[in-house]
Amino acid sequence: PRRAGDEAGSQRAAHEGNGERRVTEDLLFLDRAAVMACAADVDLCEATAWALGHHAEGATRMPAEGYLPWTNDAGGQCRSLAMLGAVEPPGGTPVRGVKIINAATTNPALGAERAGGVSLLFDQHTARPVLMAEAGWLSAARTAAYTMVSLRHLGPREWDALSVIGCGTLARAHLELLGTQFPQAKSVHLYDTDPERAADLAKWLGQHCPQLHPQIAPSARAAVGAARVVVTTTTVDTGFVPAAWLEPGTFVAHVSLSDLLPDAFVTAEAIYVDDVDLVAENPRRTLGALLRDGLVAAPGVTPRRGDATGEGAAVPEVNGTLGQVIAGRIEAVRPHRGHVISNPFGMAILDVALLEAVHQAALRRGTGQRLCLY
């Protein structure tokens, strides 16, 4: 591999040079350390809000996700996700790419992160991949950035404590970004069914985010009740958080998508998603199942519980997307007397938007390795 800086912009020259277009068969590779170094030059929350705003304006595309599950020899659940996305701002520079993120539930027991993979960005003219990057760190960071943006627009106006249920990779990514985005956050209540993981995260916080005072909660219920901002980053596939656990004025970032029980959605003051179709097409997750069963309605559709004549009680409705809030198209409802839920399915357009910002930083810094395909 050659250093990127040795031939700065050779890829760009392929389509910007003297009217003569040439297809190059090399691409820039960024390992995790390089991705992290370049991401330090980038405002991840701003890049996230940029992509969400374009999503609300219809300037994005996300083909159906590829999903391939299997079971490994140890009985662990494995899956491969292939997520294509494009942000195509009118009159602006388009960004297109794919994230391939695979996971095995048995990886943490091997001392490895559950999920990992690579992302690619595509050249506008030749369609060739121009960048390949380690995907795990940025994938977690983009999910955390979404939570930070949602909290800014939809969270309580005043808060200084946060609860995190599930203390793995995503939890750490959230707390890493929290310190930079919300300096008023003073304490973090941690809960994990594996006490060692909660203890490890508390120790990590002491070393990396000393301004955040960690407290390990004795139960999920105690953690949920301890703060007005609750982030779920578990791996459950069966809900365990009822509405009764949520204090008035609570904002829930339901990142892991299956923790809240149906009554938490049905009684919510407001529900926001990243993309209505993505959520609705996945009934394996709580909100997807509620939309399928007509117990929660998609925005603008107001089915009623009961019979087809429209008799019966109105069902709660998803308010819309965070992008629509950012674009000023719908109202931002913050938690007041009840709770507000943010339920992001996870969008490839955020992965590609953030990766492009990292790519530009890598080109400026001369970071990365050139890989020659042939």
Q: Which listed range, 76-84, 252-260, 290-298, 356-364, lies at the site for ligand NAD (CB under 6 A)?
A: 252-260
Orientation angle between helical segments 136-154 and 348-365, nearest 10 degrees: 110
Residue selected from 169, 321, 324, 367 as contacting ligand NAD according to rule CB under 6 A: 169
Helix extents (H) in the chain:
10-16, 32-39, 44-56, 136-154, 169-181, 195-208, 220-225, 262-266, 276-280, 286-292, 322-326, 348-365
For residues 113 and 288, what is the distance between their CA atoms, to the nearest angstrom? 27
Q: How far is the CB of 12 from ligand NAD (least distance, A)?
A: 31
Q: How far is the CB of 15 from ligand NAD (least distance, A)?
A: 33
The answer to whether 89 and 59 are in contact (CB under 8 A) is yes
Residue selected from 28, 86, 115, 212 as contacting ligand NAD according to rule CB under 6 A: 115
The verdict on 221 binding ligand NAD (CB under 6 A) reads no
The verdict on 257 binding ligand NAD (CB under 6 A) reads yes
Q: How far is the CB of 41 from ligand NAD (least distance, A)?
A: 23
The verdict on 78 binding ligand NAD (CB under 6 A) reads no
**Nearest CA-CA partner of 164 in 234, 211, 236:** 234
The verdict on 214 binding ligand NAD (CB under 6 A) reads no
The verdict on 199 binding ligand NAD (CB under 6 A) reads no
- Phi and psi at 194, nearest 5°, equal -100, 100
Q: How far is CA 128 from CA 22, 98, 132, 148, 361, in A?
A: 11, 12, 11, 33, 20
User: How large is the C-alpha radius of gyration of the chain?
Assistant: 21
The verdict on 149 binding ligand NAD (CB under 6 A) reads no
Residue selected from 54, 346, 359, 362 as contacting ligand NAD according to rule CB under 6 A: 346
Residue 373 tokens read as: 């395909």
Q: What DSSP string runs through 40-89?
A: TTS-HHHHHHHHHHHHHTT-EE-PPPEEEEEE-TTS-EEEEEEEEEEE--
CB proximity list for 117: less than 8 A, separation 6 or greater? 99, 100, 101, 102, 135, 136, 139
Q: Which residue is nearest to ligand NAD (CB)?
A: 168
Q: Which amino acid is at 286?
A: T
**Nearest CA-CA partner of 257 in 284, 220, 294:** 284
The verdict on 262 binding ligand NAD (CB under 6 A) reads no
Q: Which is nearer to ligand NAD, 200 or 317 (CB)?
A: 200
Residue selected from 165, 252, 264, 358 as contacting ligand NAD according to rule CB under 6 A: 165
Q: Which listed range, 62-70, 71-79, 166-174, 355-363, lies at the site for ligand NAD (CB under 6 A)?
A: 166-174
The verdict on 114 binding ligand NAD (CB under 6 A) reads yes
For residues 354 and 282, what is the distance between their CA atoms, to the nearest angstrom? 25
The verdict on 253 binding ligand NAD (CB under 6 A) reads no
Residue selected from 236, 243, 297, 327 as contacting ligand NAD according to rule CB under 6 A: 236
Residue selected from 126, 235, 282, 369 as contacting ligand NAD according to rule CB under 6 A: 235
For residues 356 and 360, what is the distance between their CA atoms, to the nearest angstrom? 6
Question: For the window 46-65, what string marks contact with ligand NAD as x by the rule CB under 6 A?
Answer: --------------------
Q: Residue 28: enclosing H or E segment and its boundaries? A: strand 26-30
For residues 354 and 43, what is the distance between their CA atoms, to the nearest angstrom? 9
Q: How far is the CB of 107 from ligand NAD (least distance, A)?
A: 8
The verdict on 84 binding ligand NAD (CB under 6 A) reads no
Q: How far is the CB of 309 from ligand NAD (least distance, A)?
A: 37
Q: Which is nearer to ligand NAD, 26 or 275 (CB)?
A: 275
Chain-centre distance of CA 273, in angstroms? 11
The verdict on 288 binding ligand NAD (CB under 6 A) reads no
The verdict on 220 binding ligand NAD (CB under 6 A) reads yes
Q: How far is the CB of 5 from ligand NAD (least distance, A)?
A: 32
- In the complex, the residues that contact ligand NAD under the rule CB under 6 A are 108, 114-115, 143, 165-171, 191-194, 197, 220, 233-236, 240, 255-257, 344-346
